[in-house]
Amino acid sequence: MAVINAFKMDGLGNDFIIIDQRSKIHDLTKEQIIKICDRKFFGCDQLIYIKKSKVTDATLEFYNSDGSQSGACGNGTRCVAYLLSKEPLISAKNEILLGTSSGIIKSKVLKDKIVETDIGVPKLNWDEIPLSQKIDTKNLNLKLIDNDNKEHYGGVAVNVGNPPVIFFLENIENINLSKIGPEIENHKLFPERCNITLAKIINKNLIKVKVWERGAGLTKACG
């Protein structure tokens, strides 16, 4: 039986199984990834590969719990950065650079178990997100129906390695995210699917959110 160097980590309630492939490659099938991510087995929001890189400290590959590949994840990157910061060759560095399919992500360990990750400037153009047609990304005019059958229209689309669609609402608890999440994730407007965030602005320093993540479903947080 092959021995796999793996870890389970958590970032803001977003949990990951991380497999280090730098010394030995263990490529898993889609079915194996789905099995590992299943909450009835090990269970996680995403599975992450750490791979060798000649350009950065490592390269990361992200896989959702449905076996599909994801571009990047801020929380997952923070977990890997913390893990790598314990290694002698990396611990002395001020920044940890990790390559992803969405670009190079910089992280800093501020103190024990506190990691800051710069996910870069959000992309706002319709074809960068991507959307299937050219429309105003600041208002997609998508309809939500709350638990009182009241209609809400909106949706702001950005790309931060993954494409979240954000709905700013007064009451995010009155929306059944388990129902509308998969509907919007698979909407024809999003050829690569999308994450859905319900957001309520508490004050200028605090925003409360509920998240549906493409390929994973309801998550406690999303990078």
Instruction: Give the pLDDT confidence score for residue 1 in this predicted structure.
Output: 43
pLDDT greater than 70 at residue 27: yes
CB 211 within 8 A of CB 195: yes
Catalytic residue, candidates 37, 44, 194, 222:
222
Whether this model's pTM surpasses 0.85: yes
73 is catalytic: yes
pLDDT greater than 50 at residue 54: yes
Distance from chain centroid for Cα 49? 14
Write out pLDDT tens, residues 176-200. Answer: 999 999 999 999 999 999 999 999 9
3-state DSSP of the chain? CCCCCEEEEEECCEEEEEEECCCCCCCCCHHHHHHHHCCCCCCCCEEEEEECCCCCCEEEEEEECCCCEECCCHHHHHHHHHHHCCCHHHHCCCCEEEEECCEEEEEEEEECCEEEEECCCCECCCCCCCCCCCCCCCCCCEEEECCCCCEEEECEECECCCCEEEEECCCHHHCCHHHHHHHHHCCCCCCCCCEEEEEEEEECCEEEEEEEECCCEEECCCC
Mean pLDDT across 69-91: 92
Instruction: Give the pLDDT confidence score for residue 223 in this predicted structure.
Output: 61
pLDDT greater than 80 at residue 43: yes
Q: Residue for token digits 């959702």?
A: 64
79 is catalytic: no
Question: How far is CA 182 from each of CA 67, 85, 107, 124, 186, rounded to the nearest angstrom?
Answer: 16, 37, 32, 23, 6
Catalytic residue, candidates 37, 73, 79, 194:
73
Write out pLDDT tens, residues 61-79. Answer: 999 999 999 888 999 999 9
Write out pLDDT tens, residues 94-136. Answer: 899 999 988 999 999 998 889 999 988 899 999 999 999 999 9
